Amino acid sequence: MLSALSEWLFGASGLAPHGYCLLWEPELIWLYAISDTAIAVAYFSIPMALGIIGRRRRDLIFPPMLWLFAAFIMLCGTTHWLDLATLWTPLYGIQGVVKAATALASISTAIVLWWKLPDFLSLPSIAQLRDANAALRESEERLAHAQKMEAIGQLTGGIAHDFNNMLQVIVGSISVIEHQIEIGRAQDIKPAVAAIQKAANNASSLINRLLAFSLRQTLTPRVIEPGRLVAEMEELLRRTLGPEIELQLRLAPARWNVACDPSQLESALLNLAINARDAMPEGGALQIATADRELIADPDTPGAQPGNYVEIAVTDSGEGMTREVLSRVFEPFFTTKPTGKGTGLGLSQIYGFVKQSGGFVRIESHPGGGTRVRIYLPGRGPVKDCVAAEDRPRIEAAALSESTHRGKALVVEDQAEVRAQIAEAVARMGFTVVEASEGLAGLKELESDAPLDLLITDVCLPGVNGRQLAETAQSKRPELPVLLITGYAGNSLETLRLAPNMQILRKPFLLDELTARVRAMAGNAAS
pLDDT of residue 397: 38
pLDDT at 129 over 90: no
CA–CA gap between residue 205 and residue 508 (Å, rounded):
10
Q: Write out pLDDT tens, residues 290-319.
A: 998 888 766 566 667 788 899 999 999 988
Q: Is 188 exposed, middle or buried (0-12, 13-18, 19+ CB in 10 A)?
A: middle
Question: Which position has the higher pLDDT, 499 or 78?
Answer: 78
Q: Write out pLDDT tens, residues 65-116.
A: 777 888 888 888 898 888 888 888 888 888 888 888 889 988 888 888 888 8
pLDDT at 337 over 70: no
* Nearest to 521, CA basis, from 300, 513, 295, 108: 513
What is the Cα Rg of the chain in Å?
40
Question: Which position has the higher pLDDT, 126 or 149?
Answer: 126
What residue spans of 396-509 are helical by DSSP H? 416-428, 439-447, 466-476
Residues above pLDDT 90, as percent of the chain = 12
pLDDT at 8 over 70: no
Most confident of 217-231, 319-333, 435-449: 435-449
pLDDT of residue 496: 65
Look at residue 419 and give its three-state secondary structure.
helix
Q: Which residues contact 108 (CB under 8 A, 6 or more apart)?
A: 68, 72
CA–CA gap between residue 473 and residue 447 (Å, rounded):
8
Amino acid occupying residue 26: P
pLDDT of residue 248: 92
Angle at CA of residue 238, ends 233 and 241, nearest 5°: 120
> What mean pLDDT, rounded, does the chain reach?
80
Q: Confidence band (pLDDT; 50, 70, 90) for 157?
A: low
Residue 298 CA, distance from chain mean position: 13
Q: Is 125 exposed, middle or buried (0-12, 13-18, 19+ CB in 10 A)?
A: exposed
Q: Does the predicted model carry a pTM greater than 0.75?
A: no
Q: Write out pLDDT tens, residues 76-86.
A: 889 888 888 88
pLDDT at 494 over 60: no
Q: Can you tell me the mean pLDDT for 359-373? A: 89
pLDDT of residue 511: 84
* Nearest to 379, CA basis, from 306, 488, 287, 299: 306
Query: How many other C-beta atoms are found inside a 10 Å radius of the C-beta of residue 175?
Result: 11
Q: Write out pLDDT tens, residues 367-419.
A: 888 999 999 999 887 644 443 333 444 433 333 444 455 789 999 998 888 88
Evaluated on CA atoms 332, 336, 342, 346, the torsion sign reads negative
pLDDT of residue 526: 64
Contact of 270 with 231, CB cutoff 8 Å: no
* Nearest to 72, CA basis, from 38, 52, 99, 34: 99
Q: Confidence band (pLDDT; 50, 70, 90) for 328?
A: confident
pLDDT at 4 over 70: no
CA–CA gap between residue 338 and residue 262 (Å, rounded):
30
- Determine which helix (DSSP H) or strand (DSSP E) holds 315, and give its type and residue range: strand 307-316
Contact of 459 with 466, CB cutoff 8 Å: yes
CA–CA gap between residue 323 and residue 367 (Å, rounded):
9
